[in-house]
Structure 1
């Protein structure tokens, strides 16, 4: 402390200038502030420090207890370490004793096996000898040599030598005895020695020999079946599918072999060995199936028929005599699909059996994935799969030709039955398409099904649909103009006689309406076919993966989209009908509306009620017109006819209304006419008609207003749920159709009109004030309409 004061005093003596003194003062002030802050902090801690003084005795007790506890823990730890070290020593001694005992047992087993295998071989007890060899093979020869002392070394070497010689000798005996049993056909001996192979460490050799034995049996059986098939007479009921039956027998034989011998393999060779055995069996299956399919191609003249089909497909100009008859291909394609279906069933069986065996053998997911790839490779690259892919390709080409030719034939032989709404070609064409696609489904080939669905869409869209378009382009006769009459005379002269124009017209009318019905029924048939095929694919192809399922769904969706193309055909047909029949027929009936006065008195209104001047006659004409078509059209086409009729009526009638003037009673008369017309059309169809007459109904509503101000009850915010189909300009145009019986003038404040109203002059001395540009938000002047 004294040293500190001395140093400060010396520092003060060094302050000789005013500037140094001021800096020293500032430093002292800062130090004073710091010391004050520390003092404040210490003073705040003074109560806590007082509490600590009271806690000191307790801390002393805690310190003593902790020291006592530490001593106890140290003692316990030392005791535990001593005990655990002794236990570890005991475990080590026990493990060494166990290893020693195991070595002793191994040495004893080695000597026992050496003596036992010699005796067993002398007694020809090969199972017992194999058991001794199996025990010997389970011993670690290197460990036994290392653990043996010098005095036992020569003895172990002798034992190992004798056992190796016995192993080789037993292997030779087992191979020889197995081959002899196979040669003699001794099934029991074959199985006996097959069980010995894994005991002597020859799993692969045993499976290979046993598989070769099974393949020989399959070959003999397949040869017998092939001879039976070739000797089958043509009149036999199974003659058309005899090769499919022969291939099925081959697959059933392999499946029977797997069913019988899989438990044997799993028991004596362990799980996971069926894949090796199946590889050998599949090679034999490939050889035998190739023989069967070669005979199939030769006996059925497949190559020649394929050449004819290919020429017919790519050379459309060939005459019918040069083409192969499609019906000749029918049984051939049925047998091809059956062949592929049987092959697909067989491959699914093989895949399932192998995968079940491999899943038991390993639980590792990576190993399972690798095994699955190996199994898929075996199935997809085998000769059977390649031949079936080639056969399905041939089938697709034949089926395409068959479908095209039969649909073309159905069109060419089309007959119109007066008792039916459609012609024969619709049922015939869709029966053929359905038959071909279902036959493809029965093949169990996803690629084949998708190809045939695409061909079916193509034929329906291009060939069949174009026939309907061509017939509809001829139009619906409604009378003859000069060019039509000339064409009729020319065609009649070609046949050597003049035909009756009425008969020819009726034939054209029937042909046109039948074509419309054909298009409508085709839409329905396509949707029915799509739904049926979806159900069939769900049942028959439920086992396919996501990729195959997506392909099927895509092709089925394309088939459903064809229905839209036929809807376009219908629209085209009705457009022809509208221009050729509907418009010419309706025009004079609707134009008669213009000759009816709608600026009427009360006497005229009463007279109209008793003797309607227009609408009842119009309804009778429409009814007579529709009666001639109702029995000739399908329900869907009849509803479409009503729809087009309603559209044409509303379009034409709107134009005629805009050419007519009305007073209050005339508006009421028009409303009655409109209600009668809508009521009749509603009664003759199942579709709603009122929405098509919405514009005319709103016109009638406007023409029935007593005052202009009533328009606010229907327009703008007061319209409620009513949706106006008329624009503001059309509303003003309809309002202009109303006439006032007596001329009058309305005085309106000019200030109310500036920028908000237009002056529309109608008649002499009549001024109506209408909003511009919109009716919404404007106030009509209160004015009467007479």
Structure 2
């Protein structure tokens, strides 16, 4: 027995004999089936959920009953499925029956269709085939007839043309008619002309030759005739005949001959006119007029290009009408003549102007003045100064410079550059014109032009490059560098400048060196002249050369002046630099700044789009770079070159400018700012309480109410809300304002707005660091504050510091307040309410505020304010006109009237009360600065906004009895700003 793949055994049954016992076979079959079933059951493993397995493995009656119930359920399920199959079998049988019926019906239809096809359609198909064959045969016969008729007509046309040619060339001599017959014959196919039918039909007794022979002989005869007549018309300068015979060449198939003779004709005209122009100039050589005319050769080259352009433009339509797009051949012939005549003109110009000699002198020029700027300055030898200026008389050095200029005459170089610029400009227009004429007609209109091969391969193109472009590049570089050198030799500084604000300045700002104006004028001139040539090679050479000269010579000369001549260093150690050095150094800083601005304006003016309505002040709108440089990406190249020039110079000049501003700040402003800050915070003490301040003020008063000690003045407050003057500063800020204006206003008057803003930013950063350091020092035991400030001192410190910031950032300098952001946050935290501080600490993150202080710094700033023990001190209440002592001393808008009544509430009603005028020693010449009310009430004015609240105060004129209480309405005013107390910090 062999096992099947599904585990069923295959039993081989022994065959029985025929007629044997059927029961034996049946038994054998049944035994085989039973054996197979047993084998399948034995071989097929039972599943875990099979009820038979659970029945076999049952060990109790409950398990047997459970297995039986599962078997019953399975039996029910199988019975339902079998019933469903039996029910669907009847429907399936019915559907199969219907399909059998349809199959029989379709079979009958197929037999009928085959019968129709074989009996009816076969004859129709044969008939259609015969008809289509006859139609094709008829079409073929028709086509052959048409071809034969066409050949006959063409042969007839050929015979007529041959007869017409021979007849027109005979006695009538009608050359136009003969050329017309030849042109008509040229339209007949060649195989017809040379065919046997034409050879048999066309020849006649008068014309026995074959038609093609007759036509070819006619073409040759007519071509020779037209050439003779054309040359005769040229010699007679008969334009009508020239045009007449020029139009006949393409009719006889000799278009190349016609274009050739026409090209010779126009070239003869170009050559004769060019020679005439040069002959006129050579005849005038040696005369004064010829020497004055510096643009003779430029004009001659211009006339050559204009003559060719007129020919191409005027005769182009004629050529295109009769020859098609064959004008390119005429242009090539004209360009060959332009190579000859233009080369003669350029060579003559170069020889007469001595260009090679000038280039040799340029290459050997030493630039001695500029070279000295690169050499280190020796001790005891003064730097390069303006000794060559005409304003100073020149002297021997001027003679040396003149002898140096004898080698190269700048005027001659400028004249040569102007001539070359004109010639190159005309060459550019000529090239652009020919490029447009040779442009592919299928190219889009906005496509950039490409230089045609007729110009690229021309000799004139090479001569322009060697004789004009290369010399111009060398001359332009030399001219600009020599102009820079001469500008520094003649450099002059503005006169009449002073740091004294009481002295007026006659000259106009900006105050810069004259060399900046001269150099930037030359920059604009050279760029303008270079762009007028419309040559990419010149722009690619001259513009970078300008950048190199500006970056090396100009910037180095300015650096040398700033470093060696006008560096603002003090004469003695610990002193201040001389005023003239400071002014000169500021002028150099202004010069660098304005040089940046001037060059940016120049570049921007050439890159901007020209205006159609013209420019103001009579300036003409500049031609756009796209129209001046139409070839390929030339316009983009020029734009990038100008931008690179601006960026490279700005980078170098800005570096030197920043260094100069730092020197001015470190050498001039910072040393003078230190004593200003020292005087600003002199006698300032933020560790005093409110009572201590009042005591000091009271103790410093004399019998007349005068302040005897100036150190008390910084302790007084100011009224920030006085009517008509809402910007009053505190005494500390006022002192800083006085020193700040004395230091910065003279400098601001001389510097440009940008440079002063930069220096002001440096100074603001320094002030911010100083104020921050001072604020932190009040919180350290070793600092000047001695271990913290009082709540009242913190308010005064915030008032004074912010007053300093206000002085620095006034006017248009509001953005400078950003430099004081840290010290502002320190003061804000120090004077913050306890509830607000707790709220900020409770919030996650920064609480919507951009903190510049770390958490440790904020806690440190909060700890600046310390609690001090209370002291019971007598307090004075002062009514101020200009100055108010904070907290216990408030102010009013106006002084009390002389007869202002004072209501006294005292234990002794007979005790008088009066106003005591008080004033500082510095204001003794004016009316009293404030008034004291002796024996005022106990309530502090900081809790009253619209009434005059008073507290006890000692006075030399009245009793110090604290039981006396008086009230007055003299200082009562809704504009009175009550002082704030330490309760703002949550402290008593």
TM-score range for the pair, normalised by the shorter chain length: 0.7 to 0.9
Residue 532 of structure 2 is matched in structure 1 by: 442
- Which stretches in structure 2 are left out of the alignment for 5+ residues? 1-10, 18-24, 41-81, 372-400, 496-506, 611-621, 698-714, 719-729, 779-787, 871-984
Of 423-432 and 59-68, the range deviating more from structure 2: 59-68
Rate the CA distance shift 1:546–1:292 in 2: closer, same or farther, 3 A: closer
**C-alpha deviations, 1:599-651, integer Å up to 9, x for none?**
11114556623486633212210011112212211122222232222111112
Spell out the pairing of 1:223-234 with structure 2 (5 A cutoff): 223-231=275-283, 234=288
Contact 2:662-2:759 within 8 A present in 1 as well: no
Residue 383 of structure 1 is matched in structure 2 by: 459
Contact 1:211-1:281 within 8 A present in 2 as well: yes
1:122 partner SS? coil
Task: Provide the rounded CA distance (Å) in 1 between the counterparts of 2:842 and 2:530.
Answer: 63
Contact 2:250-2:323 within 8 A present in 1 as well: yes
Of 568-577 and 432-441, the range deviating more from structure 2: 568-577
Residue 91 of structure 1 is matched in structure 2 by: 139
Residue 554 of structure 1 is matched in structure 2 by: 640
1:544 partner SS? coil
Task: Provide the rounded CA distance (Å) in 2 between the counterparts of 1:150 and 1:416.
Answer: 101
Contact 2:192-2:198 within 8 A present in 1 as well: no
Spell out the pairing of 1:67-466 with structure 2 (5 A cutoff): 84-123=132-171, 124-148=173-197, 158-231=210-283, 234-235=288-289, 239-270=293-324, 272-312=325-365, 320-355=404-439, 359=441, 376-390=452-466, 391-418=468-495, 419-420=507-508, 421-466=511-556
Shift of 1:478: 6.6
Residue 852 of structure 2 is matched in structure 1 by: 725
Task: Provide the rounded CA distance (Å) in 2 between the counterparts of 1:438 and 1:558.
Answer: 17
Rate the CA distance shift 1:100–1:23 in 2: closer, same or farther, 3 A: farther
- 1:584 corresponds to 2:671: yes
Rate the CA distance shift 1:122–1:619 in 2: closer, same or farther, 3 A: same
Shift of 1:60: 7.5
Contact 2:226-2:249 within 8 A present in 1 as well: yes
Residue 648 of structure 1 is matched in structure 2 by: 766
Rate the CA distance shift 1:160–1:698 in 2: closer, same or farther, 3 A: closer
Contact 1:473-1:576 within 8 A present in 2 as well: no
**C-alpha deviations, 1:500-531, integer Å up to 9, x for none?**
xx9x9232122111011111212211221121
Rate the CA distance shift 1:338–1:40 in 2: closer, same or farther, 3 A: farther
Rate the CA distance shift 1:483–1:739 in 2: closer, same or farther, 3 A: closer
Which among 811, 818, 821 is matched to residue 694 of structure 1?
821
Rate the CA distance shift 1:87–1:703 in 2: closer, same or farther, 3 A: same
Rate the CA distance shift 1:597–1:411 in 2: closer, same or farther, 3 A: same
2:750 partner SS? coil
Rate the CA distance shift 1:276–1:82 in 2: closer, same or farther, 3 A: farther
Task: Provide the rounded CA distance (Å) in 1 between the counterparts of 2:602 and 2:200.
Answer: 90
Contact 1:662-1:703 within 8 A present in 2 as well: no
**C-alpha deviations, 1:358-412, integer Å up to 9, x for none?**
52xxx6x89xx9xx98x72212221222222221121111111111111121122
- 1:49 corresponds to 2:96: yes
Task: Provide the rounded CA distance (Å) in 2 between the counterparts of 1:681 and 1:42.
Answer: 107
Rate the CA distance shift 1:674–1:151 in 2: closer, same or farther, 3 A: closer
Contact 1:594-1:656 within 8 A present in 2 as well: no
Which among 623, 642, 667 is matched to residue 741 of structure 2?
623
- 1:600 corresponds to 2:688: yes
Residue 520 of structure 1 is matched in structure 2 by: 593
Task: Provide the rounded CA distance (Å) in 2 between the counterparts of 1:346 and 1:277.
Answer: 15
Which among 713, 716, 730 is matched to residue 609 of structure 1?
716
Task: Provide the rounded CA distance (Å) in 2 between the counterparts of 1:551 and 1:467.
Answer: 30
- Which stretches in structure 1 are left out of the alignment for 5+ residues? 1-7, 30-35, 485-501, 744-782
Task: Provide the rounded CA distance (Å) in 2 between the counterparts of 1:70 and 1:651.
Answer: 117
Shift of 1:153: 9.8
Rate the CA distance shift 1:686–1:659 in 2: closer, same or farther, 3 A: closer
Contact 2:596-2:650 within 8 A present in 1 as well: yes
1:541 partner SS? helix
Task: Report the TM-score, using the length of structure 2 for normalisation.
Answer: 0.64
2:365 partner SS? helix
Of 586-595 and 63-72, the range deviating more from structure 2: 63-72
Contact 2:203-2:210 within 8 A present in 1 as well: yes
Of 511-520 and 551-560, the range deviating more from structure 2: 551-560
Task: Provide the rounded CA distance (Å) in 1 between the counterparts of 2:181 and 2:593.
Answer: 84
Contact 2:717-2:731 within 8 A present in 1 as well: no
Task: Provide the rounded CA distance (Å) in 1 between the counterparts of 2:91 and 2:32.
Answer: 35
Task: Provide the rounded CA distance (Å) in 2 between the counterparts of 1:463 and 1:350.
Answer: 42
Of 641-650 and 613-622, the range deviating more from structure 2: 613-622
Rate the CA distance shift 1:657–1:471 in 2: closer, same or farther, 3 A: farther
**C-alpha deviations, 1:247-306, integer Å up to 9, x for none?**
121111112111222122112222x21111111111011111111112211232222112
Residue 607 of structure 2 is matched in structure 1 by: 534
Rate the CA distance shift 1:154–1:627 in 2: closer, same or farther, 3 A: closer
Task: Provide the rounded CA distance (Å) in 2 between the counterparts of 1:594 and 1:69.
Answer: 131
Shift of 1:741: 0.9
Residue 557 of structure 2 is matched in structure 1 by: 467
Contact 1:476-1:581 within 8 A present in 2 as well: no
Of 719-728 and 611-620, the range deviating more from structure 2: 611-620
Task: Provide the rounded CA distance (Å) in 1 between the counterparts of 2:221 and 2:854.
Answer: 109
**Which protein has the larger Cα radius of gyration, Structure 1 or Structure 2?**
2
**C-alpha deviations, 1:136-192, integer Å up to 9, x for none?**
333344445545299659878633333333333333322333333333333333222
**C-alpha deviations, 1:23-78, integer Å up to 9, x for none?**
9968x99xxxxxx9x99999775454344356569858976689879999878776
Contact 2:158-2:202 within 8 A present in 1 as well: no
Task: Report the TM-score, using the length of structure 1 for normalisation.
Answer: 0.80
Residue 635 of structure 1 is matched in structure 2 by: 753
Task: Provide the rounded CA distance (Å) in 1 between the counterparts of 2:217 and 2:632.
Answer: 57
Shift of 1:19: 14
